[in-house]
Chains A and B, each alone.
Chain A
Amino acid sequence: MQLRVSIDQAGYDQSAIIRNIHFTLQEGQLLAVIGPNGSGKTTLIRAISQVLPYGEGQYYINGTNLMEANENSRARLMAVVPQSTYVPPSFLVREVVLMGRTPYMNWNGKASRVDEKFVQEAMDQTDVKQFENQLCGELSAGERQRVILARALAQNTPVLLMDEPTSHLDLRYQIEFLELTRTLGLNNGKTVLVAMHDLNLAARFGDVFLAMKNGTTSAYGSVRDVLLPEKLSEIYGLAVRVINLPDGGSTVVIPQ
């Protein structure tokens, strides 16, 4: 589904943290949001998911105006993977993944067969099934992150917003998970926005790129428009080299 974001300004208590960010993602596209610490990546995800107290802008998923939709309909349209991997320790892994089905369940959280199916599928995809009956307090940070990813997948939304979703994962799970989201984009038309620090991963999985600096758009477009040595040097304040590997397509960024 199409995600259209047009932010004039957004932030907390009348003070704008981010401004002038405009983009439209087509169905199945993966947008990689890059930028240094404090450049507004997390605030952007908060703005789109409508949890910021202040903002002027427009947000649409297909025809639905997200500012007018209620919490429940929004949660059926987009799932959010937060940066924090905090999970209340006294819940079971299975219980947490099932919470992704909250927008579809009744007041008492009663799971239907369909809910169970999505939960099982999400647990398989993120490889958390092996500890589904364990308490979250017993897991490592990386395992908790996979549980949160499973919860977001179980939500089964056309749009997925992720804030540093692989920060605690080892190399194998990083690649596997991003491969999975790309597959979901290709096969199921899931539209994905990922904020990430690892430029090489971004280059490998992104269809479109948004580089942010000081809360606003610094560059937007394809690999060739955004991952340029002079652009990246300007954004991060560090000289970098961008190498296009001869294997056809891979781009590698290394600090100089």
Chain B
Amino acid sequence: MHKLARPTLFSFAALIIAVLLSIGVGSVAIPPKEALEVLWNTLEGTAPTSDTNHTYQIILLTLRLPRTILMIMTGAALAGSGCAYQGLFQNPLADPYLIGAASGAGLGAVFSLTLGWPASPLSYLTVPMSAFIGALLTVFLVFQLAKVKKTLPVTNLILAGVAVSSFVTALTSFLLINASGELRRAVVWLLGGSTMAGWKPVLGQLPYMLIGLIGLSAYAYKLNVLQFGDEQALQLGINVNRARTRIVVFATLSTAAAVAFTGVIGFVGLIIPHILRRVTGGDMRHLLPFSMIGGAIFLVLADVTARVIVAPQELPVGIITSLCGAPFFLFILRRSKEKD
């Protein structure tokens, strides 16, 4: 048996349990058995057997299922891109926030939110588009600032990322303060609360996320070699600048897709790859897919918690991920210190 067979089975089982929890928990509780039955009937096209089942069907199909799928995709995108950034910069603290991707996406999204577009159906196209443009422009700016001749030293990249990020975040706050009517909506969004419901955000996010994550997976092996540093990677036959640029574009695309629809959700991209590296080892060909599944499980569970903790109100999921992410991260950090 392959050494990762057990973790693979375990993570898929955990994902299924998380999904059943997520579609079952809320103001109307739907037991897993009924939930599966309703979904099965819908797939078959048969009519609901009872009024209760009909209500369940509406709740599941218009609210909980799309929301759960959105959380799966967002978690996978955040953890996947975080994993790629950590490998690329050989820095366990690297995540979508480090090189300005998330804050740039935030600015882009807030910009289009303050224009009042969310009211129109067009917003499902414009918000991710403008988040992606914001993210790419920010990352491009960071790269330009960090570049020395033709090379891209990692330290410069991180410093420029931190500086540009704070500037971009300040711009975002400025936009928020000047926006009157959309303010609450945008603030909730910024905290990581999904303000959009239904299938449209799922469909809007899907293409960006797929291109981003498939692209990253294609560069998983090169990410392994890049961890030896630019010089050794070049000497081992990798076109370093090209590989790195593409990895950054794919990771930025994933980040922007996540941020555009669910706002700023911290810590997923940081802790999930960190924890899973202990299971899979450093090989990105294993760590990257595991991070995606792990990120999905984590975010689905965080979203469930966000829904029940102050029910009937809802917390933005970003608050949950930070509330449990930060202490857990410190716990891991401390434990690894004690081991040394």
Q: Which residues of A contact B (CB under 8 A)?
A: 13, 46, 49-51, 53-54, 70-72, 74-76, 78-80, 82, 86-92, 95, 99-100, 102-103, 105, 107-109, 135, 155
Contact = CB atoms under 8 A, between A and B. Distances in A.
B231 A71 contact: no
B149 A91 contact: no
B283 A108 contact: no
A107 B221 contact: yes
B236 A109 contact: no
B149 A53 contact: yes
A74 B218 contact: no
A99 B225 contact: yes
B277 interface: yes
A71 B238 contact: yes
B150 interface: yes
A72 B225 CA distance: 13
Given A90-B282, A91-B224, A109-B221, A51 B277 contact: no
Nearest to A75: B237
B202 interface: no
B328 interface: no
Contacts of B236: 75, 99-100, 102-103, 155
Contact of B285 (A72, A102, A108): A108
Contacts of A72: 237, 239
Given A88-B90, A88-B228, A74 B237 contact: yes
Given A88-B90, A107-B218, A49 B235 contact: yes
Contact of B237 (A13, A51, A102): A102
B311 interface: no
B234 A71 contact: yes
Contacts of B227: 88, 91
A169 B235 CA distance: 23
Interface in B223-252: 224-225, 227-232, 234-240
Given A70-B239, A82-B231, A109-B224, 4 more contacts: A51-B234, A71-B240, A76-B237, A100-B236
B281 A108 contact: no
Nearest to B227: A88
Contact of A88 (B221, B222, B237, B282): B282
Given A51-B234, A51-B235, A87 B228 contact: yes
